[in-house]
Structure 1
């Protein structure tokens, strides 16, 4: 079975050394999710930390994308057993954990996504069982195939990065470069030597312990450059960002200068 036809293409592609691309969903639009799931992205990054998307909307997104090529991952707002359990029980095939700053938090993330004796996930996954893409025993399949992604995005994590990356059951270390920059006092700057040094340190620890590496990327040139550094998983722009980019390109082609959303009046 090729990674493109695999029911869990993200881990299949990563294990084959192939890049993985996510479309980020920040609006509670099931139609947008369904369209993006069929455009070639490998998974949908459903943003539940920074958006108004609710658990009910997440479940409908899982239903609306059933049978389509892209997997559905959810970023939960905090690393707790119950936050992971609630999205997993709706049928997501990956969980993204923010602010993984200590080994205790990375272990909690791994435990939250695996059933005993591997972890501490509770067994009430009725909705997930009904929409799971692989036939057979759901619990065994989930333990094998749920992708666990820990986001490292605080300077304090650098003190523990080797232990964080050594955590069994964590598949992907994702570097949240914007928050990491803020945490380093750089106010979001992406070209500062301190940030680049921190990224290299995290990447080296992840590679040492056999974890896959992810980070945000905005264009093909960035993807190419980051792949040279060992990154394989990329969070691409949001549905709103993609809409704005497409609209700007079209308007520019007909001679209309589109306003910058960052400078537009809010009233």
Structure 2
């Protein structure tokens, strides 16, 4: 959904009022600026899209970590909302908050799948997510890769991730779909999206109403 810098702060407030942590997904272009502004607004975690290799994975980690000899990141002392607008900027707690942020990567390109061992060896990568549609496009077969093929690729990268102590996040539509993942050690899930839920709800009910009216 579209958002402004003001709305990022409001997202951060909403997360805190609900006692939740938040994750924002950022596109490849300008991802450093967007990710750091989002963290500054109160998002604790960042999902980076379009990662291709270990060098890009290292850059994503550095975007979120503090710029210090110990942490090796690019995040400076910013007078943002998450640091009480400057009252806590640059403090040890500030650095620790950045260290605690979850860095998640979309593994959705053919190149990333081929480089999965090197990417998973990058320190600071906490989580991965598989993107089937992007993967299909990246191999020149948009929406043309079979579900079985996608499952093979997904299972492979999840296996490599778990072997390296990185948590995969699986996307499911119903709780029952979690069983196959739980059996192999996957315990993080995204269950549906708001847009699809609304579409599915309206499609089912409006479709049923149309049939009633037609009869």
TM-score normalized by the length of structure 2: 0.81
Deviation at 1:104, TM superposition (A): 0.6
1:76-91 map, 5 Å: 76-78=26-28, 80-91=31-42
- Structure 1 window deviating more from structure 2 (106-115 vs 242-251): it is 242-251
- Number of aligned residues: 202
Structure 2 equivalent of residue 165 of structure 1: 120
Q: What is the CA–CA distance in structure 1 between the aligned matches of 2:140 and 2:118, rounded to whole Å? A: 24
Structure 1 residue 241 and structure 2 residue 190: aligned? no
SS of 1:213 mapped into structure 2:
strand
Structure 1 equivalent of residue 139 of structure 2: 184
Deviation at 1:230, TM superposition (A): 3.3
Q: What is the CA–CA distance in structure 1 between the aligned matches of 2:157 and 2:79, rounded to whole Å? A: 34
Structure 2 equivalent of residue 130 of structure 1: 84
TM-score normalized by the length of structure 1: 0.67
Q: What is the CA–CA distance in structure 1 between the aligned matches of 2:176 and 2:111, rounded to whole Å? A: 30
In structure 2, relative to structure 1, the CA distance for the partners of 1:102 and 1:248 (3 Å cut) is same
Superposed CA offset, 1:49-101 (max 9, x none):
xxx23333222111233231321211111264323212111111001100111
Q: What is the CA–CA distance in structure 1 between the aligned matches of 2:77 and 2:186, rounded to whole Å? A: 34
Structure 1 residue 230 and structure 2 residue 181: aligned? no
Higher helix share: 2
Q: What is the CA–CA distance in structure 1 between the aligned matches of 2:185 and 2:62, rounded to whole Å? A: 26
Please identify the structure whose Cα radius of gyration is greater: 2
- Structure 1 window deviating more from structure 2 (118-127 vs 92-101): it is 118-127
Which of 76, 90, 100 is the equivalent residue of 2:51?
100
Q: What is the CA–CA distance in structure 1 between the aligned matches of 2:150 and 2:8, rounded to whole Å? A: 33
Q: What is the CA–CA distance in structure 1 between the aligned matches of 2:162 and 2:192, rounded to whole Å? A: 25
Deviation at 1:113, TM superposition (A): 0.9
Structure 2 equivalent of residue 62 of structure 1: 12
Q: What is the CA–CA distance in structure 2 between the aligned matches of 1:226 and 1:178, rounded to whole Å? A: 20
Deviation at 1:199, TM superposition (A): 1.5
Structure 1 equivalent of residue 21 of structure 2: 71
Structure 2 equivalent of residue 121 of structure 1: 75
Note the residue ranges of structure 2 that are not aligned, 5 or more in a row: 86-90
Runs of 4+ in 1 over 4 A off after TM superposition: 248-252
Contact 2:27-2:50 within 8 A present in 1 as well: no
Q: What is the CA–CA distance in structure 1 between the aligned matches of 2:146 and 2:186, rounded to whole Å? A: 17
Note the residue ranges of structure 1 that are not aligned, 5 or more in a row: 1-25, 27-51, 259-267
- Larger RCO, structures 1/2 (Cα 8 Å, 6+ apart): 1
Root-mean-square deviation (Å):
2.5
In structure 2, relative to structure 1, the CA distance for the partners of 1:200 and 1:64 (3 Å cut) is closer
